[in-house]
């Protein structure tokens, strides 16, 4: 309900109705009774009503001049207007602070996101280089294993050749030994025949 729709008579009737039911008279119960109205507006009207009630005995003997009533009403409106302006300014400043904080948070989020992207790219590059080095190392290991296998095969063949040569050397050594013995025997026989021939020649 708009505050202009709440007349003083309606407000006083609402206060009496709420009080008559034994309920606490406040902005909430008055809003329910009136069917609307702003909290601050109802609170201000309630304060004015209570002030009026407190002044009522003196007012019967010394009525408040209409000019004073008008002045008080204007003062109340000015106070209300100033209060609304103050609250609006405070809310506006709080909203600006909130927007500024939100912008700073977004800027930080973007900076963190950029840093994360940079680190991710760097990690991927290093991982690729490591994988390339690993592949190269694996190829080198494979080549070395192949060379080692060939060297081992060559060593085995060389060992067999050396064994064969040793066997041939042994056979040749034995053959030479036999030939030397046979040669000495033949030389002895030839010398014997020559000596015998000389003896025979001397006997003649």
Tens digit of pLDDT for each residue in 144-171?
799 978 878 877 887 888 788 788 878 8
Please return the burial class of 190, using the count of CB atoms within 10 Å of its CB with bins 0-12, 13-18 and 19+. exposed
Tell me whether residue 153 is in a domain.
Answer: no
Give the range of the structural domain holding residue 90, as residue numbers without chain letter: 3-102
Tell me whether residue 46 is in a domain.
Answer: yes
The mean predicted confidence, pLDDT, of the chain is 82
Tens digit of pLDDT for each residue in 119-149?
899 979 997 887 788 888 799 889 979 997 8
Q: Give mean pLDDT, residues 34-43.
A: 89
Report the domain count for the chain. 1
Tell me whether residue 192 is in a domain.
Answer: no
Other CB atoms within 10 Å distance of the CB of residue 41: 19
Tell me whether residue 144 is in a domain.
Answer: no
Contact 41, 5 (CB under 8 A): no
Tokens of 29: 């119960």
Tell me whether residue 140 is in a domain.
Answer: no
Which of 5, 17, 93 is CA-nearest to residue 41? 5
Tell me whether residue 84 is in a domain.
Answer: yes
State pTM to two decimals.
0.28
Contact 30, 15 (CB under 8 A): yes
Tell me whether residue 183 is in a domain.
Answer: no
Tell me whether residue 119 is in a domain.
Answer: no
């Amino acid at each position: 309900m708009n505050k202009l729709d709440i007349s003083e008579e309606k407000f006083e009737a609402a206060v009496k109705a709420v009080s008559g039911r034994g309920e606490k008279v406040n902005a909430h119960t008055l809003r329910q009774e009136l069917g609307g109205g702003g909290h601050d507006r109802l609170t201000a009207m309630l304060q004015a009503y209570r002030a009026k009630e407190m002044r009522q005995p003196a007012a019967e003997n010394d009525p408040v001049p209409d000019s004073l009533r008008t002045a008080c009403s204007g003062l109340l409106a000015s106070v209300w207007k100033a209060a609304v302006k103050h609250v609006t300014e405070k809310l506006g400043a709080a909203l600006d602070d909130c927007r500024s904080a939100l912008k700073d948070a977004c800027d930080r989020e973007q900076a963190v996101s950029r840093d994360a992207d940079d680190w991710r790219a760097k990690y991927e590059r290093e991982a690729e280089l490591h994988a390339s080095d690993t592949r190269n190392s694996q190829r080198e290991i494979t080549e070395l294993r192949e060379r080692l296998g060939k060297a081992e095969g060559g060593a085995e063949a060389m060992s067999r050749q050396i064994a064969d040569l040793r066997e041939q050397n042994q056979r040749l050594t034995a053959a030479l030994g036999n030939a030397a013995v046979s040669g000495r025997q033949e030389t002895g026989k030839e010398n014997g025949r020559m000596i015998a021939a000389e003896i025979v020649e001397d006997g003649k």
